[in-house]
Structure formats: structure tokens, C-alpha cells
Amino acid sequence: MENEHIRHDISIIRPQLHNDDIQTRGRNLPHSKLNNIKKALRTLHTLELMAINIYRFQVTKKPSSLNRQLIAAACNEMTHYQDFQVKLLEYGLKPAKLRWLYWIVGAAIGKTSRLAGTRAILKTAIWVESKATAHYDELLNLVEWDEDTHRVIEKNQSDEYGHIRRWKNLLQSNKG
């Protein structure tokens, strides 16, 4: 199921960004269209902050393959967070003021699942990423994006599907 949604090279954790990639966007858009973009970008930005903390607080001190994968996933989510920060700024918008609440929620989910063990970490990660991909679908379909922003959102969604696949494979190999 997830594989058909992976349209980008998900082995690249942090895609290259050039100075010329940064653009001023949406200054002449109607208020209603810009408002839809603002809501969507703030949602994506805030949820990526939560995802960063979930992975960050799931990592233990123990050197392990799982921790390495969690760190890679956290790094990838940091890239998504930066992508949406840049898009907000390009559109002349600001992040949500209450995003810090999602920081706390992410920390709580991450720490709780870590305390419950490996299977809980993996099941939580699958659940969170499944919610994320659904959110991405909804926002890709509801908002009229410019081509560059659409491509960034699609790439980030592909990464989330890749995370689901990775966590499901690890869960399968950790039965018992």
C-alpha cells in the first residue's frame, strides 16, 4: 500500500536546497486562498515539530539499529519542519503561536512509547506516520498549491510512507 505512494527517493534524508530555490510567493493571492495556505502550512509545520519530538524522545542511550533508524527519522522530520518554516516565510506568514503545545505532546508520546518498549515505539511510529500521510493527502487535495510547494509536500509525504514501511518491517522482524 505505502510503496505505491513513494514517488521520490526516500533514501535522501535531507535534500539539497539552493539559494535560488527560495522565492517570494503568494503576495497577490486572494485573502481566502492565502488563508487556506496559511492554515495548511501551519498544520504541517506544527505536526512535524511533534514528530521530531516523538522520535527524539524514543531514542535511548543504547547503540542499536532501532536508535539509528529513529535518529535518521528525526533528522528527516527536522528537514520537513524546515521545509514548512521556509514555505511559511516565502508566503509572508508566521508559524502557529501555540506550536509549543505540540512539542510537549510529541515529547510525551515519545517518552511514553519508549518506556513501553520496542514494540510500542514501532506501533506508535506507524500510527503517527499513518495519521501524517492522511493529513498530507487531505491538504494536498484541499489547497491549491504552487508547483514548488506541492512538490515539497509530496516529497515529505513520500518520506512518511517510507517511515511506515520501515517501522512495519522492523515490527515484523521483532515479533515475539
Residue 1 resides in a domain: no
Task: Examine residue 23 and state whether it is found in any structural domain, yes or no.
Answer: no
DSSP state of 162: H
pTM assigned to the model:
0.91
Q: Is residue 38 part of a domain?
A: yes
CB atoms within 10 A of CB 163: 26
N- to C-terminal Cα distance for the chain? 25
pLDDT one-digit tens code per residue, 3-49? 566 566 667 778 788 899 999 999 899 999 999 999 999 999 999 99
Pick from 126, 116, 141, 128: which is nearest to 50 by CA?
A: 128
Q: Check residue 8 and give its pLDDT.
A: 64
- Among 83, 86, 75, smallest CA distance to 155 is for 83
Quick one: residue 100, left, alpha or beta (phi over 0 = left, psi -120 to 50 = alpha)? alpha
Q: Which amino acid is at 164?
A: I
Number of structural domains, the chain? 1
Position 19 in a domain:
no
Distance CA 122, CA 174 (A): 10
pLDDT value for 1: 46
119-175, pLDDT tens digit by residue?
999 999 999 999 999 999 999 999 999 999 999 999 999 999 999 999 999 999 986
Domain of residue 121, CATH code: 1.20.1260.10
User: Measured in whole angstroms, how far is the alpha carbon of residue 38 from the centre of its chain?
Assistant: 17
* Pairwise CA distance, residues 149 & 14, whole Å: 16
Residue 94 lies in a domain: yes
In a domain, 92, yes or no: yes
Q: Is residue 24 part of a domain?
A: no
Quote the domain boundaries for residue 116: 31-173
d(CA 38, CA 143): 10
Residue 7 lies in a domain: no
